[in-house]
Amino acid sequence: MAIVGCVHGEETVGKKVIEALKNMDIIKGAMLLVVANEATLRKRTRFLDQDLNRSFPGKKNGNREEKIAYELKSLLQTVDFVISLHSTSTNTKDLVIIKKDTSGVNKLIKAINPLRVVHFPKGFGDGALENHHKAALAFEYGYHYAPATYNKSLRDIKKVLVSLGMIKGVSKSKAKNKTSFFSIYGSVDKPRGFKMKNIRNFSLIKRGDTLGWVKKEKLVATENFYPALFGPKAYPDIMGFKSKRLSNK
């Protein structure tokens, strides 16, 4: 089991959770705790040369993030499960992000019982860590620096550790959440000078609904979709992702 924090250095929740996990009494197996991008954590910045979560599988002699990706990928092949910790500027609440629909990933999802899972299929974020391990997923658990983000991240990691028999604890038999599954299929371009409406992630947007404005001109949705990771500061060039809701597993 590996817990990876600070793939994005400004998302300091990963470091905090890792500090808390250092005191766990592991009774079975081993837990690897990795602060992925120390230099960006020190500078409270997202990356130095390029986004680390777009850099996998990395390069042995590449730029700084490519080298980290290369070494981290090889290190993570030694563990059965990986959870990568992120936080967001958007109103996504508890979101688990997956790239692969493997039995290992599904085992983690079952233990976590999250509110929502979003799948990024091939072509979306292929350079992410989650795409380069057989049983890896990412937490995108709420606002940067919010205490709830830390608490929920730590709580759900503990659920996984209990389910794997790695720490003592009571496995709750009844799942609290009915997990909703979404799949990304596109993104919405953000024109220059765009001012986004307050959009609730994973709440259906219908064709014709207002997304925001460029000066006084209104921009509307051209089709129905579920917005994922929409936020005014989420991405430089897109508003966020379009997803479809999958029938529950």
3, 83 Cβ separation under 8 angstroms: yes
- Min CB(50)–Zn ion separation in Å: 14
d(Cα 48, Cα 43) in Å, to the nearest integer? Answer: 9
User: What would the two tokens of residue 86 be?
Assistant: 């992120």
Q: How many CB atoms lie within 10 A of CB 67?
A: 16
152 is a contact residue toward Zn ion (CB under 5 A):
no
Q: Which stretch binds Zn ion (CB under 5 A): 4-12, 27-35, 59-67, 176-184?
A: 4-12
Of residues 8 and 132, the one with the C-beta less far from Zn ion: 8
User: What is the footprint of Zn ion within residues 76-105 (CB under 5 A)?
Assistant: 86
Could you tell me the two tokens for 18?
């890792």
Binding positions for Zn ion, 58-77, rule CB under 5 A: none
Report which secondary-structure segment, H or E, holds 163.
Answer: helix 147-163
Shortest distance, CB of residue 181 to Zn ion, whole angstroms?
21
Under the criterion CB under 5 A, does residue 8 sit at the interface with Zn ion? Answer: yes
- Of 53 and 163, CB closest to Zn ion: 53
**Nearest approach, Cβ of residue 248 and Zn ion (Å):** 27
How many CB atoms within 10 Å of residue 48? Answer: 15
Answer yes or no: are the C-beta atoms of 15 and 46 closer than 8 Å.
no
**Between residues 192 and 233, which has the closer beta carbon with respect to Zn ion?**
233
CA distances from 171 to 113, 161, 163 (A): 12, 10, 7
Nearer to Zn ion, 97 or 188 (CB): 97
- Token pair 């929920």 is at which residue? 152
> Which of the residues 187 through 226 are near Zn ion (CB under 5 A)?
none
Residue with nearest beta carbon to Zn ion: 86
How many residues touch Zn ion under the rule CB under 5 A: the total is 3
Cα torsion 10, 125, 196, 151: sign: negative
Q: What is the dihedral of CA 182, 188, 190, 196, to 10 degrees?
A: -60
Residue holding tokens 């059965």? 80
Shortest Å distance, C-beta 155 to Zn ion: 19
Smallest gap from Cβ 86 to Zn ion, in A, equals 3
Are the CB atoms for 124 and 184 separated by under 8 Å? yes
Cβ proximity to Zn ion: between 56 and 166 the closer is 56
Q: Does 139 bind Zn ion (CB under 5 A)?
A: no
| Smallest distance, Zn ion to C-beta of residue 15, A | 13
Applying CB under 5 A, which residues contact Zn ion?
8, 11, 86
